Each structure stands twice: as C-alpha cells, then as structure tokens.
Amino acid sequence: MSINTKKTVILAQGYTFQPSILLETVPLEVVDKFCYLGSTVSSNLSIDSEVDLRIGRAATTFGRLRTRVWNNKHLTIRTKMIVYETCVLSTLLYGAETWTSYANQERRLNTFHMRCLRSILNITWKDRVTNERVLEIAQLPSITALLKQRRLRWLGHVQRMDSTRLPSQIMLSQIAFKKRRIGRPLLRFKDCAKRDMVAFDIDRDTWEELASDRDGWRGTIAKGREIHDNAWFQDLARKRAKRHNPPDGADMAPCFSCHKCGRKCRSRIGLYSHERRCSSLTDAA
C-alpha cells in the first residue's frame, strides 16, 4: 500500500505537545479538522465547521436551481417542494443522523430552511407571514423536526444491530469507573437522543422495544414529528401573543424624550432612531 504524504494529515485530541509523525522522512501536517467521507471531523467535537459547510453547499445547490425550478411559473408548488427536498435538504442534512447539535446550530439551519422556503414561495418580510404559515403552505416540517427524526431513525437502526458490531458497542455502551470533568460537560449523542424522545413524546424507558420493530419505530417517529411541530407552533403563537398583548399592569409608558421636539419613545434605541430622523428634518427645514 502506498500512502500519499500530501493527502495524509494528523488529527489528535487532548494532547499537551503537538504530535509529530514522519512518513518517509516527511513530517505530516497536524490539523484541527479535515473532511472524511464528505463530512468534516474536528478535534474539539464541534459541528460548527460541518454546519458552515452544509449551509454553503446547500446554498450553492439552491442558487443553481433558481432559474430552472424556483422561478419557473409552469411548475406547481408541490413539484418545487419535491425538488427542494431531494436536492437542497438532502445536501443540507447530509450526515445529520450522527450530529450532536446545540440550539444555536439548529437555529442557523432553521433560518436557512425558512429563507429558502420564503424565496420559493415568493414571500417577503413585508407580507408579515409567520413561519408556521410558510411551513403550512409548503407542506414541510421544520428543520428541527427533520433533524430529530433522522437522529432517532439512526438510533433505532443501531439498536437493531447485532451487539458484536462496532457502532452498537460504541453508541450503546458506557465507560466504567470514569468521572466527567467539573462544570457543564459537552453534549453527547445520547443526550440529544433523550431530548429528541421527550420532544417526540416517546417513552425513554421502553424505546428499545419500540425500536426492535422497524416499521413500528418509523411510524412512532412520524407521529412524534407532528407532535413536535404542533408544540413548537403553539409555543411560537404564545410568545407572539405575549409580545403583542402585554399583560395588564405592565409598564409600557414612554420614558425617553427627544430634546428637540419632545416626542417620547419607549426604548433608547427608538429614541436614537427618532433623533436621527428628527435632526434630518430640522436641518432640511
């Protein structure tokens, strides 16, 4: 077997001194991340680089289809959504089954997802259409629900594996006689899986029995995806109502006054914006 020194790199974790390996008297490069089988592997176990790469490639795919598909008036919305799921979402969520994602990373993916759907449906911010309504028109779930669905499907696939296989041993086993560091630990895949089960209303004590049946497990996840999105929509509606209709007795009286015209504003940033406009009108007069 011949090894290409230019394509061979070193990635290490938890080292004090930088490792040094020579290959035919040529030192190999030490990197913090590299691409393996289409996914970015990092030394700090973060998927930030992978999310950046996925969003960039999905945006490129979305842009290439703009003229032929998204702006084509002869295609129905359902046809466009099928193309979007096949080409863009598959690129965006490639390898997402094994991601250990945080809320900010899921928020970035959801922002890209909603921006693409609004562009396809020709809905701008001026139309004042909520994300729930956009997903209802597109007949697609939220990106968070898709991410959780893929992760749980992969978990069930590993659960049905033979116990002698390496993925099953790594994912479902535990390290004995080892304590975690003090402070908030890094999020693990099993932590994400437990959180997904709670969001999908799946019993964490009996999920192994459900996962043993492939069709039943997929049906349970499909129902859980609807439960997740319904709860998410209700939470968004509740926050929106609370923002637009503050509770009785809330102090909403203006407390910032313009020193030129005397107009009162509710916030400092609002006063700053008004003063800029007020000064321009005064100068023009």
Owner of token pair 């999310």: 51
266, part of any domain: yes
Amino acid at 121: L
54, part of any domain: yes
215, part of any domain: yes
Q: Environment class of residue 2 by beta-carbon count within 10 Å: exposed (0-12), middle (13-18) or buried (19+)?
A: exposed
Q: What is the largest CA-CA distance in the chain?
A: 83
Higher per-residue pLDDT: 185 or 53 = 53
19, part of any domain: no
Same-domain check for residues 136 and 154: no
Same-domain check for residues 129 and 165: no
pLDDT tens, position by position, 4-26 = 777 788 888 777 777 888 877 78
Same-domain check for residues 126 and 156: no
Show the tokens assigned to 122.
């020709």
39, part of any domain: yes
Handedness of CA 184, 188, 192, 195 (dihedral sign): negative
Same-domain check for residues 90 and 62: yes
pTM > 0.75 = yes
| Alpha carbons 211 and 13: distance in angstroms, whole number | 33
pLDDT at 281: 61
Owner of token pair 């994912």: 171
Show the tokens assigned to 279.
């000064």
pLDDT tens, position by position, 81-97 = 999 999 999 999 999 99
| Alpha carbons 185 and 75: distance in angstroms, whole number | 49
pLDDT at 283: 57
Residues near 59 by beta carbon (within 8 Å), at least 6 away in sequence: 112
Same-domain check for residues 47 and 128: yes
pLDDT tens, position by position, 167-198 = 888 887 776 667 777 777 888 888 899 999 99
Count of structural domains within the chain: 3
pLDDT at 282: 57
- Band of residue 247 on the pLDDT scale cut at 50, 70, 90: low
Same-domain check for residues 236 and 262: no
Write the CA distances from 243 to 202, 240, 247, 266, integer angstroms. 32, 5, 9, 14
| Alpha carbons 254 and 243: distance in angstroms, whole number | 17
Domain containing 118 equals 32-140
